[in-house]
Copies of this chain bind each other. A is one copy, B any other.
Amino acid sequence: MIEEVEKLSREFVQELGDESLSLYERLPKGKRVRAKLILKIAKNNKDAIKLASIVELIHAASLLHDDVIDDATTRRGVESINAIYGNKSAIMLGDILYSKGYFELVDLDIKIAKIISDAVTKLSIGELMDVELSKKFNPSFDRYFDMIYNKTAVLIEASSKSAAIVANKDAEVYGIYGKNLGLAFQVIDDILDITQDSKTLGKPSMSDFKEGKTTLPYIYLYESMNEDERKKLLNLYKKELSYEEERWIGDKMREHGAIERAYNYASKLGDEALKAIEAHDESQLTSIMKNVIERSF
């Protein structure tokens, strides 16, 4: 069924002209988390396939713009569109995919159009927050969560809610599941940036910190450090790190249990999500959440 989603997304883009399509086809496919989630919740249903295709177009648009904003040269280990064709093409293709997504969205239930467009506004605000937070070391748990909620979780939450509407299920319940899935996904991503080697990641490890992103493990680490350690950590912030410096951060993470705390937090988010859907006999959603928490790449 995910193939039907891919096919429909491609058809949507084809309607926009050959140039858009040829650029679109250069995008790496990704895990299609949002589409799969929608299909799992709304089952085999024409509207579910349409919703999933739209959400994937919107997600692709947001990644295109994110890569321009973050000056990213790679995406999933391959060269990004902005790196190959320049920022202009990436901005334009993003705009085209966004607007096509909205155009198609109008045919679905009006509640869905409202949920998804609200999510996209938050997505853009989340990107703005991310840029702001990356300017100096951020020790605030709340600000970090506010940012990842907007930037990552909100579209997963909206996908989940909208799929529930398509399937006549309880949108609030599935919203909680989606929100927590998104948040947990991001926290685990932040952990892997520290614990995985660059080959597995497809990008240099600890690149978050080098780029100025103070993710949850760094917030916990800073919280439990003494003054001298804090000073040293702040001194490494947003710098190219030597092997020794990376090791020092890794050792301190272990010493202060920062990774473990972050992992436990993600795990708690997962438990809350499973509790929300407990009564709804959703074994597949349970395993999606477990895979997110336990994933190692």
Residues of A within 8 A of B (CB): 16-17, 19-20, 62, 65, 68-69, 87-88, 91-92, 95-96, 98-100, 102-103, 105-106, 110, 113-114, 117-118, 120-121, 123-125, 127-128, 131-132
Contact = CB atoms under 8 A, between A and B. Distances in A.
Contacts of A65: 91-92, 95
A121 B100 contact: yes
B20 A92 contact: no
A238 to B, nearest CB: 16
A163 to B, nearest CB: 18
Contacts of A91: 65, 68-69, 91
Contact of A96 (B69, B102, B125): B125
A68 B125 CA distance: 19
Given A87-B87, A125-B16, A106 B113 contact: yes
A205 B65 CA distance: 33
A91 B95 CA distance: 10
**Copies per complex of this chain:** 2
Contacts of A120: 95, 99, 102-103
B103 A114 contact: yes
A17 B146 CA distance: 13
B106 A124 contact: no
Nearest to A98: B98
Q: Which 9 A-B pairs have the closest CB atoms?
A: A95-B124, A99-B120, A103-B117, A99-B121, A102-B117, A96-B124, A106-B113, A69-B88, A92-B128
A99 B127 contact: no
A90 to B, nearest CB: 10
A136 B216 CA distance: 50
A16 B121 CA distance: 8
Contact of A131 (B62, B92, B125): B92
Nearest to A104: B117
Contact of A103 (B69, B95, B103, B121): B121
B92 A124 contact: yes
A20 B125 contact: yes
Nearest to A95: B124
A19 B133 CA distance: 13
Nearest to A112: B106
A169 to B, nearest CB: 22
Contacts of A20: 125, 128
A88 B16 contact: no
Contact of A106 (B68, B110, B132): B110
Contacts of A92: 65, 69, 124, 127-128, 131
